Amino acid sequence: MPVLLSIAVSTPAHSTLGSLLSYESERVLSPGTLVRVPLGRREVLGVVWGLADEPPPGVKPVSSVLEGVPPLTAAWRSGIEFAAQYYQRGLGEVALAALPPQLKDLSAEQLARRLKRQRTETPECNFDATNLVATNAEQTLAIGQIDTHPGPHLLFGVTGSGKTEVYLQAVARMLARNPQGQALVMVPEINLTPQLINRFTERFGAEQVVSMHSGMTPPQRLQSWLAAHSGAARMVLATRLGVFASIPHLKLILVDEEHDPSYKAQDGARYSARDLAVMRGKIEGATVVLGSATPSLETWNAVLQGRYQRIDLPERIGAGALPTVRRLDMNQQPPKSVIAPLLLAAIAERVARGEQSLLLLNRRGYAPVLACHACDWKSDCPHCSAYRVFHKIDRSLRCHHCGHAEPVPRACPQCGNLDISPVGRGTEKLEEHVAELLAQTKRPDGSAVRVARIDADSTRAAGELERQLAMVHGQEVDVLVGTQMVAKGHDFRHITLVAAINPDGALFSSDFRAPERLFSLLMQAGGRAGRNALMSEKSEMWVQSFYPQHPLFAALKAHDYPAFAAQQLKERQAAGMPPYSHQALVRADSRNQQAAQDYLQAVLEAALLVPGHEYITIYPPVPHPVARVANVERAQMLLESPSRKALQRFLSDWRAHLHALRDKSILRWAIDVDPLSI
DNA sequence: AGCACGCCGACT
DNA sequence: GTCGGCGTGCTC
């Protein structure tokens, strides 16, 4: 007798269709079984979720069962259910997005062939447990804490304090206790953390570790997924998309650099992989460790409230003291100095000694805008409400939002005046400027100074980042100019000076998280300096600022993250901002700004019909900070509530109104729960 | 979102 | 006379 199954399929978010559809099957299939089912005129992948009771009219049979792939576990399904509910997305969408894309388009025969090639038995974990790297007292304590306490833990330690060794030994302990156990190791961006991956493969053997990230080819992703799903892989190293990889024997989850904004997805389901990792640990009974030198304020607050256990790693290992922080008062400098004379002298001194310096400027290109002196023309992007950035290297005007690029005009396109010039400066100009200023400076061998730049533009070509990093490591470069991307992950042994050229923007930004990001960036960048113990006592971090007395810089000088966090949390509490309130953002895209705002206004009014709306503050619709990108107008509306639960309940009831009120003038809408940038 | 059906302009 | 433009409508 045929049974009726409830099956999760990826139905579009804007359709009236639910995510769980009913299909007939000749035999009962256990929940978690992967199947292929007809949907409209095509056949799609589905996950059996359970039994259905009422047969809808015109119910169709399951087309096929993916043989040889064990069902997904109940814990995995709970995690998916939680994520779909919390981030206000379809269950099927979230479930299917967590599966490797290739699973969707392989035929049964192709899959059988892949499975045959796949290793299913667990290879011996061949690391030598008796020959572990020696740890200091704090590390030993940390490893013991992780091993015996369920967590979640915050592993709080500066760059160079030996977090990685704690991770490695925590995994080793877990495996010693549970030979079938598996660990999920999350990193913000896989290409920025090659050292971590190397450490894991060196310690445990490459055959024990699989990675999951968007840079992999579809066959590689399927292979990694199958290795994790079958239990053969002991460790899964993944970016945020790996947070819901199927890992049936998951016992330990490590989230490195947990404060990193990359963990928050910015399109599709806007989930936080870090937050989901914590929830997943709870569901699966796995220990969660969040690691950071500058935790997110959400995590820090959880520690203060006793929800997370704090583990300190206060000492730098194999590296000396943290760099001395020097604040340079830009009010005291000659007018229009880009680099203060004192800082320039310090850089020149380093060049002469054969040491390296790193200059940070968070702006790509030569100048952020080109302007005409005769009329009011500026290099606007025709498709976006933003300026196009002047790139001198190929004499182009490029929009950093939509990618639109054009050669620089000879004369002002508006009045024909020839006198158009760059305003402000980016990394290209800083690189040029530094090279000019240091033209007379010689390296110890008498050769000329070498200045290089690392940013998204200089590393666009494949292998270019690695090539440039190798040049820095090989000391072929004396002064390195770059954006925040150089501050992340790379371990520069010979850098003894790091300077933030113009960090003031973040102090008074309308984005309340800007100071948090700046502090983290500067701490991380400072950690780049003096990792070589022999040079550490003379390593310095310079900060150029018109507000040198700002508490953020004072905390930075003292290397005192807790003081910075305390001050920030006080401000957040006074202003009723996260983590003291919970936010969601509704975004709407349209060809017309007014239509987008009208739609949001209509859903705002509909909110009054939703029970529990009195616990929610809804702010009026406003244009997105960059209102137009690629000719699409964007508007948004902020919701706030002191209660996460109330906000959750409200959003899931309100969602139906968002569907119903949408018309064809609205290209798309989305709810962003716990948005990172507003 | 796909992927159909459906009804009007330039091609062999 | 057809190939194909993308408007609208449905998917257990």
Amino acid identity at A275 = D
Residue A190 confidence class, pLDDT cut points 50, 70, 90: confident
Q: How far is C-alpha A478 from the chain's CA centre? A: 30
Rounded to an integer, what distance in angstroms lies between the CA atom of residue A578 and that of residue A678? 12
Strand B close to A334 by CB, under 7 A: no
> Cβ–Cβ contacts within 10 Å for residue A638, how many?
17
CA of A17, C1' of B2: distance in angstroms? 15
Query: What's the average model confidence in pLDDT over A622-646?
Result: 93
Report the run of H or E that residue A655 belongs to, with start and end. helix A644-661
Q: What are A303's two structure tokens?
A: 């520690």
Question: pLDDT digit string (tens) for A133-189?
Answer: 888 889 999 999 999 998 899 999 987 788 999 999 999 999 999 999 999 999 998
Strand C close to A385 by CB, under 7 A: no
Torsion over CA: A55, A56, A61, A62 (sign): negative
Long-range contacts of A77-85 (CB under 8 A, 24+ apart): A77/A31, A77/A32, A77/A47, A77/A49, A78/A283, A79/A244, A79/A276, A79/A279, A79/A280, A79/A283, A79/A284, A80/A244, A82/A276, A82/A279, A82/A283, A83/A244, A83/A269, A83/A271, A83/A276, A83/A279, A84/A19, A84/A269, A85/A648, A85/A652
> Cβ–Cβ contacts within 10 Å for residue A251, how many?
20
Strand C close to A3 by CB, under 7 A: no
Rounded to an integer, what distance in angstroms lies between the CA atom of residue A340 and that of residue A501? 9
Question: pLDDT digit string (tens) for A337-369?
Answer: 899 999 999 999 999 999 999 999 999 999 999
Q: Specify whether the CB–CB gap between A299 and A289 falls below 8 A.
A: no
Task: Find which nucleotide's C1' atom is closest to A60's CA.
Answer: C12
CA of A17, C1' of C5: distance in angstroms? 29
CA of A10, C1' of C11: distance in angstroms? 11
Neighbouring residues of A301: CB distance < 8 A, sequence distance ≥ 6: A569, A579
Task: Find which nucleotide's C1' atom is closest to A62's CA.
Answer: C12
Query: What's the average model confidence in pLDDT over A646-675?
Result: 90
CA of A40, C1' of B5: distance in angstroms? 13
Task: Find which nucleotide's C1' atom is closest to A9's CA.
Answer: C12
Strand C close to A50 by CB, under 7 A: no
Q: Which residues pair with A579 in a beta bridge?
A: none
CA of A597, C1' of C12: distance in angstroms? 36
CA A272, A278, A284 angle in degrees (round to 5)? 125
Q: Specify whether the CB–CB gap between A191 and A215 falls below 8 A.
A: yes
Strand C close to A492 by CB, under 7 A: no
Question: pLDDT digit string (tens) for A205-260?
Answer: 988 999 999 889 889 999 999 999 999 999 999 999 999 999 999 999 999 999 99
Q: Specify whether the CB–CB gap between A548 and A540 falls below 8 A.
A: no
Question: pLDDT digit string (tens) for A398-444?
Answer: 999 888 899 999 999 999 899 899 999 999 999 999 999 999 999 99
Q: Whole-model pTM? A: 0.93
Report the run of H or E that residue A517 belongs to, with start and end. helix A514-528
Strand C close to A49 by CB, under 7 A: no
Position A448 pLDDT exceeds 80:
yes
Question: pLDDT digit string (tens) for A572-582?
Answer: 999 999 999 99
pLDDT attached to residue A26: 92
Q: What are A339's two structure tokens?
A: 């680099």
User: In the sheet where A20-25 sits, what is the strand order?
Assistant: A60-61, A20-25, A3-9, A42-51, A34-39, A64-65
Report the run of H or E that residue A188 belongs to, with start and end. none
State the maximum Cα–Cα separation within chain A, in Å, rounded to a whole number.
Answer: 89
Strand C close to A126 by CB, under 7 A: no
Mark residues 657-676 of chain A whose C-beta is closer than 7 A to nucleic acid strand B: 668
Torsion over CA: A219, A221, A226, A232 (sign): positive
Strand B close to A56 by CB, under 7 A: no
Strand B close to A341 by CB, under 7 A: no
A360 conformational bin, left if phi > 0, alpha if psi -120 to 50, beta if neither:
beta
CA of A15, C1' of C1: distance in angstroms? 39
* Ramachandran angles phi, psi of A41, nearest 5°: -95, 5
Position A292 pLDDT exceeds 60:
yes
* Ramachandran angles phi, psi of A204, nearest 5°: -105, -10
Question: pLDDT digit string (tens) for A319-329?
Answer: 567 889 999 99
Residue A486 confidence class, pLDDT cut points 50, 70, 90: confident
Give the residue whose CA sits closest to C11 at C1': A40
CA of A601, C1' of B7: distance in angstroms? 37
